[in-house]
């Protein structure tokens, strides 16, 4: 399979890239920071202007993509009035619009996609006063992906919502529970297992304390 991982330069996206590559896929990862691993990297900044056009231009140059993994995201904390308009727009671009336009551009070009894997968060279903736009983005991409599973051109959709993981996501943030967070390698293994079965749509929560997987819906 040709697998494209948006947000695959670090953390969970990079672990998934390694797993899919070990399984024989041709893998391309995107992000802003070049990676040292032996995985094909293409720079793509989700926070720059003209996102829809740039995504389309990027996709047109790619070989056909069979599996799209959308793992891009970053931590943002603040009540809605604490966030600047630019911060709100950036979270919507990186967390939401990016997925919408990658799916749109891929389907416009190829007319089919074998698999979509969307990484959300517990913030998909847990409202948090200090994460309103992250809540918006994660809930939105989850339901968008669910709707895309109804589009006959997309064969299979997995929405995976992990709890806290020990990744670069928390860089520069003062958290005293990092050691209790999930190992992103373990989370990647759970996602590979969840994706290995036959279905049209699946939503699973990947939780901690204890580390476990709860499959909420499969159809």
Ligand X SMILES: NC(=O)c1ccc[n+]([C@@H]2O[C@H](COP(=O)([O-])OP(=O)(O)OC[C@H]3O[C@@H](n4cnc5c(N)ncnc54)[C@H](OP(=O)(O)O)[C@@H]3O)[C@@H](O)[C@H]2O)c1
Q: Is 110 near ligand X (CB under 6 A)?
A: no
Nearer to ligand X, 28 or 94 (CB): 94
Q: Is 58 near ligand X (CB under 6 A)?
A: no
Which of 164, 194, 195, 204 forms a contact with ligand X (CB under 6 A)?
A: 164
Question: Which x/- pattern, by CB under 6 A, does the window 143-162 give for ligand X?
Answer: -------------------x
Cβ neighbours around 126 below 10 Å, total:
13
User: What is the footprint of ligand X within residues 113-142 (CB under 6 A)?
Assistant: 119, 121
Nearer to ligand X, 2 or 47 (CB): 47
Q: What's the order of all strands across the beta sheet hosting 40-43?
A: 40-43, 26-31, 2-6, 67-70, 115-119, 157-162, 201-207, 212-218
* Helix, strand or coil, per DSSP, at residue 25: coil
Residue nearest to ligand X (CB): 11
SS3 annotation, 80-138: HHHCCHHHHHHHHHHHHHHHHHHHHHHHHHHCCECEEEEECCHHHCCCCCCCHHHHHHH
Which of 3, 4, 8, 116 forms a contact with ligand X (CB under 6 A)?
A: 8
Q: Which residues bind ligand X (CB under 6 A)?
A: 7-13, 31-33, 44-47, 71-74, 94, 119, 121, 162, 164-165, 167-169, 181, 184
């Amino acid at each position: 399979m040709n697998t494209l991982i948006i947000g695959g330069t670090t953390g969970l996206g990079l672990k998934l890239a390694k797993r899919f590559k070990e399984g024989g896929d041709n893998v391309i990862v995107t992000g802003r920071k070049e990676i040292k691993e032996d995985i094909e990297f293409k720079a793509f900044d989700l926070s720059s202007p003209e996102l829809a056009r740039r995504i389309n231009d990027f996709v047109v140059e790619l070989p056909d993509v069979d599996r799209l993994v959308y793992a891009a995201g970053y931590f943002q904390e603040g009540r809605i009035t604490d966030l600047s308009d630019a911060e709100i727009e950036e979270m919507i671009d990186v967390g939401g619009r990016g997925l919408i336009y990658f799916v749109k551009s891929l389907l416009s070009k190829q007319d089919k996609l074998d698999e979509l894997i969307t990484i959300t968060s517990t913030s998909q279903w847990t409202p948090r006063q200090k994460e309103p736009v992250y809540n918006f983005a994660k809930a939105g991409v989850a339901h968008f992906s669910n709707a895309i599973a109804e589009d006959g051109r997309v064969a299979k959709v997995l929405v995976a919502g992990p709890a806290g993981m020990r990744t670069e996501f928390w860089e520069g943030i003062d958290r005293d529970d990092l050691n209790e967070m999930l190992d992103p390698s373990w989370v990647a293994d759970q996602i590979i297992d969840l994706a290995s079965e036959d279905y049209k749509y699946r939503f699973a929560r990947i939780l901690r304390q204890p580390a476990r997987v709860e499959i909420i819906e499969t159809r």
